[in-house]
Amino acid sequence: MSTHDALEDPRNRDIRIYVDGEILHRDAAKVSVYDSGFLLGDGVWEGLRVHKGRVCFLEEHLDRLFEAARYIDLDIGKTRDELTEAVQATLAANDMEDNVHIRLMVTRGRKRKPFQHPHLSVFGSTLVIIAEHSEPSGDVIDRGIRLHTVPHHRGLPLTQDAKLNSHSKLNCIIALNHALRAGADEALMLDPFGFVNTTNACNFFIVRKGEVWTSTGDYCLNGITRRKVIGLCRAHEIPVFERNYSLVDAYGADEAFLTGTFGAQTPVYEIDGREIGGCKPGPVFLRIRELYRGLIEQDIRQGS
């Protein structure tokens, strides 16, 4: 079980992928072995969802992408409008309208030599857009996610800032491997002080006595779904706190759930072998999920 489980869709065997201005069959879509992303994980990306013809919360995703690119000194080489056009062209080439997941990736581009110096990336950025038919599996709501707390923590911004949605995800992958070996589905990661922070691929929330708690927002990706959930709680008088809390609070929670663009909100039914919420979706989770669906509908209406 994973938060990214999607129903198998045979149409994905023949999708068209955007690679630097060309839209090619997936078997022909390739980047160079000299690409900075392949060689070094030197790039940034966004995961987006399309509902009823609308790329939801696109502006927020572009904000985050450009902010990350600015931080790592990567010239995307395209404006926001040009990126939006490239996304739309990819969707049009695939005749995609609904239940689509997009991975938009920008790297520092092809290098002259296989070394890390950014000045060796002399050919301009590489832009790849993969759009797949992708309907989240309903099983995940029935079965819930089992988390395992791993020794690998989210770093301080002094190292690789967790706010970067970077191509190099090794910290998260090592954490996930550890959780998988422990028989869980995903990794729960702590911050450098031992407070509960996030998972390897999603943001993490708990519910205690009707209150929604999530980490302070330090040391984790500034998730767009996370921010939307906090906003919805505030707008609908569900008490919500961005605060430090420990595994004592997490094990004792009435409900726990994950947030991310792909799965929206996904319930957690077990943390380190402790059952959470009687292994069924809790009332606060269900309410937030309903409110979030309403927000998506609103975003779709704004686009039409």
**Is 125 one of the binding residues for ligand PLP (CB under 6 A)?**
no
Binders of ligand PLP in range 86-115 (CB under 6 A): none
Binders of ligand PLP in range 259-278 (CB under 6 A): 259-261
Specify which residues 240 forms β-bridges with.
212
Interface size with ligand PLP, residues (CB under 6 A): 15
Q: What is the DSSP letter of 136?
A: B
Question: What beta strand segments (E) does 56-202 contain?
Answer: 100-107, 126-133, 145-149, 186-190, 196-199
Q: Kindly tell me which of 221 and 253 has the beta carbon lying closer to ligand PLP.
A: 221
Binders of ligand PLP in range 150-169 (CB under 6 A): 165
Q: Please, what is the minimum distance in Å from the beta carbon of residue 110 to ligand PLP?
A: 25
What phi and psi values does residue 109 have, to the nearest 5 degrees?
A: 90, -175
d(CA 81, CA 59): 10
| Structure token pair of residue 100 | 């689509």
Interface mask toward ligand PLP for 188-217; x: CB under 6 A: ----------x--xxx--------------
Interface mask toward ligand PLP for 223-262; x: CB under 6 A: xxxx--------------------------------xxx-
Q: Kindly tell me which of 3 and 121 has the beta carbon lying closer to ligand PLP.
A: 3
Contact 196, 276 (CB under 8 A): no
Q: Going by C-beta distance under 8 Å and a sequence separation of 6 or more, which residues neighbour residue 38?
A: 31, 32, 107
Q: Pick the binder of ligand PLP from 221, 230, 250, 256 (CB under 6 A).
A: 221
Residue 166: how many CA atoms within 13 Å on its side-chain side? 22
Q: Pick the binder of ligand PLP from 5, 12, 47, 52 (CB under 6 A).
A: 47
Q: Kindly tell me which of 125 and 259 has the beta carbon lying closer to ligand PLP.
A: 259
d(CA 15, CA 27): 9
Q: Kindly tell me which of 120 and 224 has the beta carbon lying closer to ligand PLP.
A: 224
Q: Going by C-beta distance under 8 Å and a sequence separation of 6 or more, which residues neighbour residue 31?
A: 19, 37, 38, 107, 110, 126, 128
Q: Kindly tell me which of 120 and 132 has the beta carbon lying closer to ligand PLP.
A: 132
Name the site residues for ligand PLP (rule: CB under 6 A). Answer: 47, 165, 172, 198, 201-203, 221, 223-226, 259-261
